[in-house]
Amino acid sequence: MTNWEDDEPFCTAAKDFQDARQVCKELGITLHHVNFSKEYKEKVFDQTLREFDMGLTPNPDVLCNRMIKFNDFTNHAFRLGAKKIATGHYARIKKDRKTLSLLKGLDEDKDQSYFLHSINPEIMNSVLFPIGEMKKKEVREYANKKGLPNYDKPDSTGICFIGERPFKDFLKTFLPPKPGVIISEYGEELGTHEGLMYFTIGQRKDLGIGGIKGKSDQPWYVAKKDMENNRLVVVQGREHPILWTKKVFVEKVRWLNSELGETLETKKSFQCLAKNRYRQSDVKCKVTPNVRGLEVDFKEPQWAITFGQYMVFYEKDECLGGGKIMPKYCELD
C-alpha cells in the first residue's frame, strides 16, 4: 500500500515496496500493490493541514489508521478475497464470547494501541496482530531465522509522509509563514516567530530567544499559542506552573468498548487510566461527560498538554477508546 508519493529522498515508499517484493519472493506469495495517495490526501493530509492552521498539533497516524489502513485498505483486501488482514502493529485482540477488546502489545516500548484507539471496533473481528505477543528483538530474530531479507531494517520513525526531513521546512511548503511576536507570560516582547503552526506546547528548540538581558539562563518553553493576536507565549523552566495542567476537555470521542459509551449516556463518571501522547506512561484520571465531550481530571498535573493530540483511555492493558484534546467548544470539522 502506497499512501504518499514524493520525489524527495526522505520518502521511503519506493524502498518499502522493494522490501515487500523481496519478502514475497522469499515466501512464495503474490504481492498486490494498491495506491491510496489520493484518499490519504483527501481524508488525512488535508485535515492535518487544517488543524495545524488552527494552531493545533494533530497526529495524522491515528487518522490514517481509522480512514485508510482499517477502512480503505481493509475493504480493498476483502474485494481481493481476503478473509482476514494482518498488520505489524504491536497490539493484541482479546476475544470473549460476545466481545472483542483491543489490548496493548506485550512489548511496552513498542505498544501501538494508542494509534489504534479510533478504528471501527467492528473491524477487529477480521484483524490479526501476529507480533503483538512478541518483543521487537524476538521479531527480528524470528525473521532472520526464516531468511527474510528485511529482518534488520531500521525502525520507522516520525509521521509516515514526512520521514526524517526537517518538519518545519516540510510544513512551510503547504502553510506559508505568518510572522508574529514571541512574548513572555507578562506580555514582554522577546523576539519573533515565523508562524504559530510551526510550534507545539512544551517545545524548547528553535525559539531563538536565548541570552536575554535581565533574564535567567533557564531554557524557554512554548506555553501557549495566542491565535487571535498571532503571539507565541513562552515561559522559563520546565517546571513552570503554566506548563502543568490537571483538567482537560476532550471531544470527537470514539469508544472501542461499547459499554463505556452506554455508561456515559447516563451521565456517569468513571475512573480509568489515560495517556495524552504516545510513549507517555499511563496516569490515573476521572472522566465525566458534558454536552460536547468529556472532562478529564488527572490525579496529578500533566506536563505540556497539547491541543490537537489524542487522549486515549485504558483499563489495565485494554484500550477503551479516546478523543481529541481541545479548547472548550472549539469548532473542528
Full 3-state SS string of 240-308: CHHHEEEEEEEEEEEECCHHHHHHHHCCCCEEEEEECCCCCCCEEEEEEECCCCEEEEEEEEEECCCCC
- Both 153 and 20 in one domain: the answer is yes
* pTM given for the model: 0.92
- The answer to whether 13 and 20 are in contact (CB under 8 A) is no
Domain extent for 202: 177-238
- Both 186 and 45 in one domain: the answer is no
- Both 195 and 278 in one domain: the answer is no
- Both 47 and 140 in one domain: the answer is yes
91 in any annotated domain: no
Residues designated as active site:
64, 160
260 in any annotated domain: yes
CA distance 320 to 111: 15
Q: Which one, of 249, 290, 252, lies nearest residue 269 by Cα?
A: 290
- Both 61 and 144 in one domain: the answer is yes
- Both 147 and 65 in one domain: the answer is yes
97 in any annotated domain: no
117 in any annotated domain: no
261 in any annotated domain: yes
- Both 181 and 272 in one domain: the answer is no
Which residue, of 238, 257, 276, is where some domain finishes?
238
320 in any annotated domain: yes
Helix (H/G/I), strand (E/B), else coil: 14: helix
Which residue, of 146, 167, 188, is where some domain finishes?
167
CA distance 141 to 118: 31
- Both 26 and 74 in one domain: the answer is yes
Pick left, alpha or beta for residue 231 (phi over 0 → left; psi -120 to 50 → alpha; otherwise beta).
Answer: beta
Q: How many CA atoms lie within 13 A of 295 on its CB side?
A: 10
Instruction: List the CATH number of the domain containing 259.
Output: 2.40.30.10
Instruction: List the CATH number of the domain containing 205.
Output: 2.30.30.280
- Both 202 and 273 in one domain: the answer is no
CA distances from 162 to 5, 113, 114 (A): 11, 22, 20
Q: What is the pLDDT of residue 157?
A: 65
- Both 17 and 76 in one domain: the answer is yes
Q: How many domains does the chain have?
A: 3
44 in any annotated domain: yes
pLDDT in tens, the chain (333 residues): 888 877 666 667 778 889 999 999 999 999 999 999 999 999 999 999 999 999 999 999 999 999 999 999 999 999 999 999 999 999 999 988 778 999 999 999 999 999 999 999 999 999 999 999 999 999 999 999 999 999 998 887 666 566 666 788 889 999 999 999 999 999 999 999 999 999 999 999 999 887 787 788 899 999 999 999 999 999 999 999 999 999 999 999 999 987 777 767 666 889 999 999 998 899 999 999 988 889 999 999 999 999 999 999 999 999 999 999 998 744 444
CA distance 259 to 82: 30
- Both 144 and 60 in one domain: the answer is yes
Q: Enumerate residues 6+ apart whose C-beta is below 8 A from 186.
A: none
Which residue, of 238, 253, 274, is where some domain finishes?
238
Q: Enumerate residues 6+ apart whose C-beta is below 8 A from 191.
A: 181, 182, 207, 208, 209
- Both 146 and 255 in one domain: the answer is no
Q: What is the pLDDT of residue 13?
A: 76
114 in any annotated domain: no
